[in-house]
Chains A and B, each alone.
Chain A
Amino acid sequence: MNSIVKYFSEIFGGVRSLLTGMSVTGKYFISPGEIVTEQYPENRATLKMTDRFKGEVTMPHDENNQHQCTGCGICEVNCPNGAIEIITKKVPNESGKLVRAIDKHIYHLSMCTFCELCIKTCPSDAITWGHDFEHAVFDRTKLTKVLNKPGSSLKKKEAKS
């Protein structure tokens, strides 16, 4: 007798547990306000990354096509993966003396692990994070980027008042 009671109580207990689970899913099924799914890429126009989003390393330029990179090479030394290469050149300054300036700031996005050490250690805040995240390309060489724009120059430091 006991075994029959146990048998049926197991069946009904099991069915009740399944119905309890289905009540949870059913609740969400009939309440469309709870939907959390985002429709990418349809929502591209409204999609906004957070302020600190690590998309890629970029070098901001101002309206005069001037950047702040002095070519010191600290980011190159600090990068654990060798994702940054800096090629410098000698250019004459106002008094005709040859000084070191940046020729190319090469950034290999394919080698970058987004550890933030280059941006953290940059003494002149020349590089920062960009918010672009759609990095897929058909050709691997397109992931190697030159960060300083052609014809750009070093921004003059404002005289301290």
Chain B
Amino acid sequence: MSKDVVTNIILRDDEDYIINMGPQHPSTHGVLRLEVCLNGETVKYVVPHIGYIHRGIEKMCEYDTYKQIIHLTDRMDYLSAHMNNEAVSLLVENALGIEVPERVKYIRAALNELNRIASHHLWWSAFGMDLGALTTFFYGLRDREKILDIFDESFGSRLLHSFVTPGGLMHDVHPNFRKNIMEFVKYFRKKLPEYKKLLTDNIIFQNRTKGIGVMTKETAIAFGVTGPSGRGSGFSCDVRKIAPYGIYDQLEFNEVLYTNGDSFDRYMVRMDEMVESMNLLEQIVDKMPEGTEFTAKMKPIVKLPEGEYFQRVETARGELDVFVVSDGKKHPYRMRFRSPNFSNMFTLNILGRGLKIADLVAISGSLDLVIPDIDR
């Protein structure tokens, strides 16, 4: 029998046993180890153990210049690489008071939304697979491939682009960029009803997600859960709305909010966000100015003035905050990232209690965790 040191609650009886889920368990989507206390098949508590893919990115940033930091931020949340790049880029631009061209802002917003859809594609595929629907994996990746082709044509890489840099973009986008986006939106609007038929309306899927892992709004706020996971609990936390950056204050879009807070609502938030992202893409393509300028004038060596700087952006998984302390040199004195997944993951202990172990897989899938972002 073991008791909690603080609350003196009995955590584990003698007949309970503890198993490790992960770090090689396929449903943890990476190297996350969940220490699960089980009574039969019922979860008593979950303790996440992290650090299996810790690379020390924050420390490495202290030895790199601001332009070199960009390629490290790609490797935190690799499914929203553009948003991570933009976080550091916006911070440097705001600190130096650089105004990037209007066209760059539109391209960045387009890349963000494409990246968001691609990320949700992979999440949808993997979520279905976690619950035993193998078909979704092929259908989701088929549509994600169309976005990756757009990325491949413009930046030469599919996942880690390092494309958005302080002062603008690495180089100009491909001439076909605008046309390709329009084609993709047209294509995906036709394919999205298939997602509904395949998984959303499926009776097995609905029974396994509805009412499972209910996160109240209070829990979401207390744990700092952001992004689609927080919005599924009715917590309005879209940084694009509450603290607009780039071009987002000139675009019309709705913040998707659901109020039940169960796995199904977190699922529906992401499905509706894909539609919102496509609406945004259409607006961006319509309004994007013509031209070839892709960067503002910047000194080759970027030095931030002494002080503290902060920037927040909305990634596909929630709010990413960057905090920099500069001592006036070309390297940051201290760089700190607040990653959305870290906060989202620790609700597993609250959400999973009293449920079966198969439900824990459904919950961790609905939270959409990316482990390299947690460990950094």
A120 touches B197 (CB 8 A): no
Classify the secondary structure of B's interface with A: helix
Not counting A113-B160, A114-B157, a sample of 19 additional A-B residue pairs whose C-beta atoms are within 8 angstroms of each other reads A13-B203, A14-B203, A17-B203, A21-B135, A21-B198, A21-B199, A23-B197, A25-B135, A36-B145, A50-B152, A50-B153, A53-B156, A53-B157, A54-B155, A114-B160, A114-B162, A115-B68, A120-B171, A129-B156
A21 touches B202 (CB 8 A): yes
Q: Which residue of the partner chain, among B68, B160, B174, B201, contacts A80 with CB atoms under 8 Å? A: B68
B68 touches A20 (CB 8 A): no
Q: How many angstroms from the CA of A20 to the CA of B194 in the assembled complex?
A: 10
- Assuming A80-B71, A115-B68, A116-B170, is B160 touching A18 (CB within 8 A)? no
The interface centre, meaning the residue of B67, B145, B174, B300 with most chain A CB atoms within 10 A of its CB, is: B67
| Interface set, chain A 125-143, CB cutoff 8 A to B | 129
With a cutoff of 8 Å between Cβ atoms, the chain A residues found around residue B156 in the complex are 50, 52-54, 129
A75 to chain B, nearest CB (A): 13
A77 to chain B, nearest CB (A): 10
| Interface set, chain B 27-82, CB cutoff 8 A to A | 64, 67-68, 70-72, 75
Spell out A's residues near B (CB within 8 Å): 13-14, 17-18, 20-21, 23-25, 36, 50-54, 78, 80, 113-117, 120-121, 129
Q: How many angstroms from the CA of A51 to the CA of B155 in the assembled complex?
A: 10
A117 touches B201 (CB 8 A): no
Spell out B's residues near A (CB within 8 Å): 64, 67-68, 70-72, 75, 135, 142, 145, 152-157, 160, 162, 170-171, 174, 194, 197-199, 201-204, 300
Q: How many angstroms from the CA of A20 to the CA of B196 in the assembled complex?
A: 10
Q: How many angstroms from the CA of A160 to the CA of B204 in the assembled complex?
A: 74
B149 to chain A, nearest CB (A): 8
With a cutoff of 8 Å between Cβ atoms, the chain A residues found around residue B202 in the complex are 17-18, 21
With a cutoff of 8 Å between Cβ atoms, the chain A residues found around residue B71 in the complex are 80, 113, 115, 117
B203 touches A115 (CB 8 A): no
Q: How many angstroms from the CA of A121 to the CA of B302 in the assembled complex?
A: 14
Using CB atoms, name the residue of chain A closest to B195: A24
Using CB atoms, name the residue of chain B closest to A14: B203
